[in-house]
Structure 1
């Protein structure tokens, strides 16, 4: 049995929504079930991923292929935040400009990994970038 990739814009839209939904549920699972409190940058990333799950769900229901107009900015800003978080986690951003305070969870703590050491900020970056790519493909395939 082979699984074919969704070729049409509706299938791509569905894939983007599933990715946003899975990312949202994973963030909630890590925070609420595993008890790992999100850092400041994680909160900001959630502020852009959670609405994507809702917006893309409505777009799937309505077959709204112009969703890229309002979902792409959310994915782009979320990707920039996740990139900054990934660079901070990797130690490429100086410690003195970290947005995380001493009282809350650290943005670059060793607890920021899952699945045997994959950094959560890198996973968030991948999810935002994939959603953005899918939205751009939808835009190209539905352009008049």
Structure 2
């Protein structure tokens, strides 16, 4: 428990870096073209890789007030994107009017793991790490 509390910023940073590298892998190596909602999720995740890395290096736990709004907003965008892919009623909401449709699924591992699901998991882990393991 004390180990997690001491290193929570490093773990949150690691989650953000893995999510960032994962999204770059899907787009740059696999050739998956991101939709509009994917871009919004990237806009919210990529700065977390930098902000959390600097905060972890300086052991700056006050950074939570800047990181939590980004991660919570990212959770909301990812959850909506996932529902647009998996819930038939949400597919009629057309946020992606040009280019790649937001309801399209490049991956569908085990029948439920899609790219927005992976993003949601990353944002949720970051949020939980920063809320549960506070430095007192």
Q: Secondary structure at the match of 1:7?
A: helix
Go from structure 1 to structure 2 and tell me whether the alpha carbon gap of 1:81 and 1:58 turns closer, same or farther (over 3 Å shift): same
Partner residue of 1:17? Answer: 13
* The structure with more helix, counted as a fraction of residues: 2
The Cα of 1:78 is off from its aligned counterpart by 0.4
Contact 2:37–2:102 (CA under 8 A) maintained in structure 1? yes
Contact 2:16–2:48 (CA under 8 A) maintained in structure 1? yes
Partner residue of 2:132? Answer: 137
Give TM-score, length-normalised by structure 1.
0.85
Partner residue of 2:39? Answer: 43
Pairwise CA RMSD of aligned residues?
Answer: 1.8
The Cα of 1:75 is off from its aligned counterpart by 0.3
Q: How do residues 1-144 of structure 1 correspond to structure 2 at under 5 angstroms?
A: 7-101=3-97, 103-111=98-106, 113=107, 115=109, 118-139=113-134, 142-143=135-136
Contact 2:83–2:90 (CA under 8 A) maintained in structure 1? no
Give TM-score, length-normalised by structure 2.
0.90
Extract unaligned runs of 5+ from structure 2.
none
Extract unaligned runs of 5+ from structure 1.
none
Instruction: List structure 1 runs of 4+ shifted beyond 4 angstroms.
Output: 114-117
Contact 2:85–2:91 (CA under 8 A) maintained in structure 1? no
